[in-house]
Structure 1
Amino acid sequence: MHAITRSGWVEVITGCMFSGKTEELIRRLRRAEIAGQSVAVFTPALDDRYGETTIGSHDGQHWEATVVENDGEDVYELLDHLNGEQVVAIDEANFFSEDLVGVCERLAADGRRVIVSGTDQTFRGEPFDPVPQLVALAEYVDKLQAICTVCGEPASRNQRLIDGEPAHADDPTIMVGAEESYQARCRNCHTVRRD
């Protein structure tokens, strides 16, 4: 799939929620280890769904990871945790600041294979930075799709629900006691309230 070169590169795995991004990331990490390559995995401090030092997929796969702060230039501390690893993986890139772009460029310039996964759209269907920027600079990009929970068609959108109803576009937070959930939806079934 990827050429064997002496230079580094950036791979981006993107798509909506429930499309298998982290599952694909873990698959690539396993293959890198089989090939005898050393691996370093990072996750943002904001995401602790699978434990503080673990990335995980919805199908139950896990991989140990180093937690790094996701705001501002704190993402550069990722470089301090490296010890010559050839493959650097970063999960949930959408939770990092735009400084992640510079970190990935620096790692690739250093001859490393950089694998980044994260959703490229917000629940509003808008670009979720910094993932679109990473897509633009990457040598390899895979955009995965899920299955729409409404109609069964290929899904490319993240549907945010508050108490089972589509979230309002202007509401970044939820009220105390409200239940927030997400679904994968196709373009036609995706709804964002703007009333």
Structure 2
Amino acid sequence: MRVLASRRLPGPAWDELDDVELLDGPLVEPRPDVEALAVVAETIDDRWLDLLPNLRIVANYGVGYDGIDVEACARRGVAVTNTPGVLDAATADLAFGLLLAARRRIVEGDRYVRDGRWGRDWAEAALLGDEVSGATLGIVGLGRIGSAVARRARAFDMRVLYTRRGPGEDEGYRPLDDLLAEAEVVSLHVPLT
């Protein structure tokens, strides 16, 4: 099976592909030899499907598939797959890293040192930031990623509140307005729509 990929994908599965070709620029010529298409964020529509007449599957390396015209694929008998969960840990790590950077003023401190200001104009309260431990985190959307952020926050002894579409069943649940009033930090984990 001939596979066309929009970019090299991470992980060991890439090494299992026998006949894979990396796309070099936009697809403009018909490719009847291609049966599988591996993408990350490309828009796959009728134009792509016209150029790939023997396509059998579009595999999206990512949770969503907003850029793939699923109906057009279905009309042509092309299966569409995605990889739910593949980026949950990475996304939660990044969200929590940004939380740490903002609360502790890490980026500002890094610039301060790189600019050679360390030791010259230090003030006691400068760049100390706010504590993470003991702070209250409000999570809007407690799905896979929101739950992963909550686990990281609890490891830092943060108090975790959450809201979601359906009612919660434990003491951490709050309606959105209450969560926004109580939380010192808010992290959004909801669909763009």
Could you state the TM-score of these two structures normalised by the residue count of structure 1?
0.37
The structure showing larger relative contact order (alpha-carbon pairs under 8 Å, at least 6 residues apart) is 1
Structure of higher CA gyration radius: 2
Question: Which structure shows the higher strand fraction?
Answer: 1
Could you state the TM-score of these two structures normalised by the residue count of structure 2?
0.38
Question: Which structure shows the higher helix fraction?
Answer: 2
